[in-house]
Amino acid sequence: AQRVTQPEKLLSVFKGAPVELKCNYSYSGSPELFWYVQYSRQRLQLLLRHISRESIKGFTADLNKGETSFHLKKPFAQEEDSAMYYCALDSSYKLIFGSGTRLLVRP
């Protein structure tokens, strides 16, 4: 079955600390993976996608097919990174979302 798992509901770090939000997936085939973010009182929006191999707002995510993971990382967290983060898998054009991780960056 196709599935996305985000094991942490809440991740709390201090400003300047490294951040890693975990995402594991189950998919038969070549996966297309995304990270979406929802800041307080804003809409859900795309943060980055693995096919672009880009860094957005200092975040990167590497697809590891061996470990079926797509963890989101940032070396130095900022307070404005506090938000809800969702990992998503494209499955025949529809997205399968994980349950999300709330990142709280403390001053």
Partner 1 sequence: GAGVSQSPSNKVTEKGKDVELRCDPISGHTALYWYRQRLGQGLEFLIYFQGNSAPDKSGLPSDRFSAERTGESVSTLTIQRTQQEDSAVYLCASSSRVGGDQPQHFGDGTRLSIL
Residues that bind partner 1 (CB under 8 A): 4, 6, 9, 32, 34, 43-46, 49, 51, 86, 88, 90, 92-100
> In whole angstroms, how close is the CB of 101 to partner 1 at the nearest point?
10
Using alpha carbons, select from 15, 34, 11 the residue that is nearest to residue 83.
Answer: 11
Contact assessment for residue 40 and residue 49, using Cβ atoms and an 8 Å cutoff: no
Nearer to partner 1, 17 or 46 (CB): 46
> In whole angstroms, how close is the CB of 13 to partner 1 at the nearest point?
21
64: its two tokens: 């590891």
